[in-house]
Amino acid sequence: MPIEVVRSIPHDVWDHYTDGNPSANIFHTRQFIDCFAGSSKYVPHVFFLQEDSRPVACLIAVQTKILTSFPRFSSRSIVFGGISCADDVTERYLSKHIGTLVHEYDESMRAQTLFTEIRNMTDQTSRIIPLIRSGYKFNPHLNYLIDLRQGDSAIWEEFSGDQRRMLKRAEKTGMEITELSEPAQIDVFHQLVSRVYSRARLPFLAKAIFEEAWLRLGPLGRLRMTLARHNGNVVAGRAALVYHGRVFDWFAGSSAEGDKVNANAALVWEMVSWGCKSGYEIFDFGGAGDPNVEYGVREFKSRFQGHLVNFGRFIRVYSPSRYRASEMAYAALRRVLF
């Protein structure tokens, strides 16, 4: 039975692979990847492992070019959803053939980008050895998952007294939380989230990506965006990706006024409660950092009493010398560009 790696497959085959496959997540879907179509800064790279012309696994990365003129020295490639496999494919089978898929990907990317990071959304213990053999290193990375099936009342009862009082205070301020009703509102959402990334001196997705997500994912019910208003002002925003029973906390941001009235926490609780009432299974906080590094966001997320997991990330640096040089240059550029 011939096994091959292909860079494209028919749209209906791709959709059938993801929609009928519980192990696939939103980041494997064609509609999500199409959000980056036409962008020179964010370039998707699609690799499917096929057996007898049937897709059995996929690796889909988005290459971010911080300086488009020098991609080899300023770009990274992120496999946001990890590596997925077809529902009827065993881990033993994938462990045997994952090297073929990863090899084809690495050969294509090594001259284009500094490194690849595979961000796991589920336990990938069985893939550690084959990926290490392929040149990847496993790094610990935490996340919090909230079981929405227990209902919002049960989740509320798990909160500490301080957490419940804080959320009640936010509600008593008269804060109003609504879903985005028109694409024009994406502008204020993007400004709020950009504020967070600007303070951290980190690059952030272009507004056009969110506009594409609104057009491509919104009509399918795969994107939910909310805004919090206080005294008539929009003070915080949150975007979640919704697929296969999972509400993935994608991006969030707030203004100084929003910080004072705990708008960010109120938006999380509203999204969690909505997920419970809408029949979803998991609220995924989207990451809580390296356990060996202090991370304030992790403390915030821990207050919602989710299950702490360490699915980790796989990383491969293609040229250590080029990577070290770029790190020094990037540190200097952060002070200027961000």
CATH code of the domain made up of 144-308 = 3.40.630.30
Is residue 63 a contact partner of residue 77, using CB atoms and an 8 Å limit? yes
Q: For the chain, give every domain's residue range.
A: 3-141+311-337, 144-308
**Which is nearest to 181 in space by CA: 138, 109, 229?**
229
The pLDDT of 186-209, averaged and rounded, is 90
Q: Which pLDDT band holds residue 96 (cuts at 50, 70, 90)?
A: confident
pTM: 0.93
71: left (phi over 0), alpha (psi -120 to 50) or beta: alpha
What's the confidence (pLDDT) of residue 139?
Answer: 96
Q: Which pLDDT band holds residue 1 (cuts at 50, 70, 90)?
A: low
The pLDDT of 94-110, averaged and rounded, is 92
| Secondary structure in 3-state letters for the chain | CCEEEECCCCHHHHHHHHHCCCCCCHHHCHHHHHCCCCCCCEEEEEEEEEECCEEEEEEEEEEEECCCCCHHHHEEEEECCCCEECCCCCHHHHHHHHHHHHHHHHHHHCCCCCEEEEECCCCCHHHHHHHHHCCCEEECCEEEEEEHHHCHHHHHHHCCHHHHHHHHHHHHCCCEEEECCCHHHHHHHHHHHHHHHHHCCCCCCCHHHHHHHHHHCHHHCCEEEEEEEECCEEEEEEEEEEECCEEEEEEEEECHHHHHCCHHHHHHHHHHHHHHHCCCCEEECCCCECCCCCCHHHHHHHCCCCEEECCCEEEEECCHHHHHHHHHHHHHHHHHHC
Q: Which pLDDT band holds residue 69 (cuts at 50, 70, 90)?
A: low
Written as one letter, the residue type at 221 is G
- Complete edge-to-edge strand list for the sheet that includes strand 246-254: 176-179, 223-230, 233-243, 246-254, 282-284, 143-147, 307-309
Query: What whole-number distance in Å separates Cα of residue 191 and Cα of residue 194?
Result: 5
The pLDDT of 56-77, averaged and rounded, is 81
324: left (phi over 0), alpha (psi -120 to 50) or beta: alpha
Token look-up 């990317």 returns: 109
What's the confidence (pLDDT) of residue 334?
Answer: 45
Q: Which pLDDT band holds residue 256 (cuts at 50, 70, 90)?
A: very high
Q: Which pLDDT band holds residue 329 (cuts at 50, 70, 90)?
A: low
109-143 pLDDT, tens digit per residue, is 999 899 999 999 999 988 899 999 999 999 999 99
What's the confidence (pLDDT) of residue 26?
Answer: 98
pLDDT above 80 (res 20): yes
Domain 3-141+311-337 in CATH: superfamily? Gcn5-related N-acetyltransferase (GNAT) (3.40.630.30)
Q: Which pLDDT band holds residue 323 (cuts at 50, 70, 90)?
A: confident
| Count of CB atoms situated within 10 Å of the CB of 29 | 25
Written as one letter, the residue type at 86 is A
Structure-block tokens of residue 21: 């496959």
The pLDDT of 221-231, averaged and rounded, is 97
What's the confidence (pLDDT) of residue 333?
Answer: 47
- Between residues 194 and 94, which one has the greater pLDDT? 194
Backbone angles phi, psi at 83, to 5 degrees: -95, 125
| The two domains 3-141+311-337 and 144-308 share their CATH topology (first three levels equal) | yes
Query: What whole-number distance in Å separates Cα of residue 287 and Cα of residue 117?
Result: 14
